Amino acid sequence: MIPNIRITTARLAALLVLAALLCAGVQAAVAEDALTIARSSAVNFGTDPTISNTISPENCGYQLHHQYTHFSPMIGMDNTGNLIPWMAESYDISDDYRTITFHLRKGITFADGTPFNASVAKFNFERIINYGYTDAFGPNGTSSRLNMFIYFDKAEVINEYTLKIYFTKGWLAIAFDFARSPICGCFISPLDVVPVWDTKGVLMPEKKYNGLGPYYVDENESIPKEKVVLRLRPSWRDDLNFHEPKMDKIVLIHIADPQTSLMAMEKGEIDYIDRSNNPPVDSLIRLKGNSKITILASPDTQIYYIATAYWRAPFNGTEGILLRKAINYALDREKMVKGAFFGYATPATDTMYLSPQRADVPDCCYRGYDFDIEKAKQLFAEAGWSDTDGDDILDKNGKPLKLDLLTTSRASLIWMKDLALIIQSQMKEVGIDVEIRTLDASGFVEASKMGDYDMRLSYDQPKSNPTTEQLTYFLSGGILSTHYANENGTLERNAMNVRYALDEEDREQNLCQICDVLFEEAGVIPLVHPMTYAIISSRVRGFEIRPEFYEHIEECWIED
């Protein structure tokens, strides 16, 4: 009987090995839903998103992976830009817009199971606004000046699931600002800092991924500054059946050059090119016949335009206004749409600055300049410009009309190159000699700040920025030089009034006055409304172009 026992034991061992192999085979057959994203900026991981990297460059600062490990805003946006509840199932705003009350969902927890409640939310807002990012976004903000940072007063816990935030000054876009801020949507547990509950406490390294997001960083597969691998984990979104993630794995790859990203997409090495890293619009032409790649396009509220050195000759004074009007009429924007954007834009003849795509922009702002060479010639003459020496260049008082056009070689603004060439050509036809001056990103910002240009190509922000924020370009003291200011200063005052208006009628009245000034004085020279587009693998389903910075890519799924 002993031999039989040995045979049975051997067979049992073989069966166990076979079972293990079969199990492994089954697991291999169930492939992960994984999506690889190309990013232009270097990807890093492991930092505290609630504190700026200016305080601690190595350990702090918002990183792209925080969208997946931490980001859970109180209020979100849908794909049309409408505000939707997220962690707050509802919210109330006071009549004076100085307080906002969040009613939190029950059952929200951090990855380690720690409950999220009003006290935790209070800790985070006070940490972020009063300490973590006040230098960046406060009254003397080095990046921007945001109302919620400038006018924050206090946060009050009403009960376990109700938080009330007070501001010293109200503004109409208060809810919109909470929805669009990635910084104010990343929360940590107050038990994860040392000392605990200290708003200036240091985040413990072992808790760096203990966020409210449904993913964690797999550091074994990730490479600093090159690749971040995110893996799905259980989260409150599963528990509450709320925007449940479907991707098992998301990989963020650093590819600095958009064209390199495009080639990787064509080879099937990546699934999505992050829209901040989109290749030039002319690349879309060759992709149209590729069945493995999908191009999604959508109108946006952005506008590309020319800002001028309005404070000095030849653009200052009454004759400067006439010159800007003449240039507005001299430009054929339809040709710009076809020649520089291959149809992925519309002519900006319906506005001077604020896009009609914005629901809160009144009809009084829907005025612009059509292409009209005869009107242009008439206005050039009224401004004192004519070709007296027959060299095909307009001149006045013996001085030719020669202007420089400032652009940048920054990869994400590659559209400037082709657009500048078309502008140069069209202006030459009416007698303006334009020299294109192209600087790197830092040089462009510095020249813009110092006003070292005659004209410069510029752009506003997409619909994730409220209209009030768009008007900051007409306020003094910004990062770049003011895009336009009229002589009596009413434009800046109106922009400030819109920013702090507490009723729609007052806001609309000031917006109309702004649009009147920009039209009557041709304050800027609008060119085109670019379309926003996304390049994504045809295997990916459920993708939507969103107005906010966060694409919610984790809600997509793969179908081969």
pLDDT at 40: 82
Rounded CA separation 48/149 (Å): 19
Q: Are residues 381 and 451 in the same domain?
A: yes
Residue 504, domain CATH = 3.10.105.10
The answer to the question of residue 212 being in a domain is yes
Q: Are residues 76 and 120 in the same domain?
A: yes
Name the residue among 309, 295, 302, 283 with its Cα closest to residue 411: 283
Q: Are residues 385 and 523 in the same domain?
A: yes
The answer to the question of residue 386 being in a domain is yes
- Cα 112 to its chain centre, rounded Å, is 31
Q: Are residues 89 and 177 in the same domain?
A: yes
Rounded CA separation 300/306 (Å): 19
Rounded CA separation 478/474 (Å): 9
Q: How far is CA 65 from CA 40, 170, 270, 333, 467, in A?
A: 14, 33, 17, 39, 28
The bridge status of strand 193-194 relative to strand 202-203 is antiparallel
Rounded CA separation 108/128 (Å): 20
Q: Are residues 229 and 202 in the same domain?
A: yes
Residue 106, domain extent: 39-256+541-558
The bridge status of strand 34-39 relative to strand 249-254 is parallel
pLDDT at 542: 94
Q: Say how many C-beta atoms besides its own lie within 10 A of residue 548's C-beta.
A: 20
Residue 112, exposed/middle/buried by CB under 10 A (0-12, 13-18, 19+)? exposed
Q: Are residues 158 and 186 in the same domain?
A: yes
Tokens at residue 250, please?
Answer: 């998301």
| Whether 98 contacts 167, CB under 8 Å | yes
Residue 230, domain CATH = 3.40.190.10
Q: Specify the 3-state DSSP secondary structure of 457.
A: strand
Q: Are residues 199 and 250 in the same domain?
A: yes
Residue 363 phi/psi, 5-degree rounding, is: -60, -25
The answer to the question of residue 297 being in a domain is no
Rounded CA separation 71/184 (Å): 9
| Whether 193 contacts 203, CB under 8 Å | yes
Q: Which residues contact 63 (CB under 8 A, 6 or more apart)?
A: 43, 44, 45, 47, 49
Name the residue among 249, 285, 259, 291 with its Cα closest to residue 38: 259
Residue 433, exposed/middle/buried by CB under 10 A (0-12, 13-18, 19+)? middle
| Whether 467 contacts 361, CB under 8 Å | yes
pLDDT at 386: 97
Rounded CA separation 390/9 (Å): 105
Tokens at residue 200, please?
Answer: 């200036």
CB burial of 21-45 (b: ≥16 within 10 Å; e: otherwise) equals eeeeeeeeeeeebebbbbbbeebbb
pLDDT at 283: 86
The answer to the question of residue 233 being in a domain is yes
Name the residue among 556, 560, 3 with its Cα closest to residue 249: 556
The answer to the question of residue 263 being in a domain is no
Q: Are residues 322 and 346 in the same domain?
A: yes
The answer to the question of residue 17 being in a domain is no
What residues pair up with 105 in beta bridges, in sequence order? none
Rounded CA separation 481/182 (Å): 26
Residue 116, exposed/middle/buried by CB under 10 A (0-12, 13-18, 19+)? buried
Rounded CA separation 273/267 (Å): 13
Rounded CA separation 108/211 (Å): 11
Rounded CA separation 176/146 (Å): 12
**Overall number of domains in the chain:** 2
pLDDT at 464: 67
pLDDT at 300: 84
Q: Which residues contact 260 (CB under 8 A, 6 or more apart)?
A: none
Tokens 């409220």 sit at which residue? 466
Q: Are residues 317 and 182 in the same domain?
A: no
Name the residue among 254, 260, 301, 218 with its Cα closest to residue 34: 218
Q: Are residues 314 and 184 in the same domain?
A: no
Rounded CA separation 5/148 (Å): 77
Q: Are residues 162 and 243 in the same domain?
A: yes
Q: Which residues contact 101 (CB under 8 A, 6 or more apart)?
A: 91, 92, 93, 158, 162, 163, 164, 165
Q: Are residues 143 and 212 in the same domain?
A: yes
pLDDT at 560: 80
The answer to the question of residue 547 being in a domain is yes
Low-confidence stretches of the chain (pLDDT < 70) are 1-30, 463-464, 477-481, 548-549
pTM for the model: 0.81
The answer to the question of residue 283 being in a domain is no
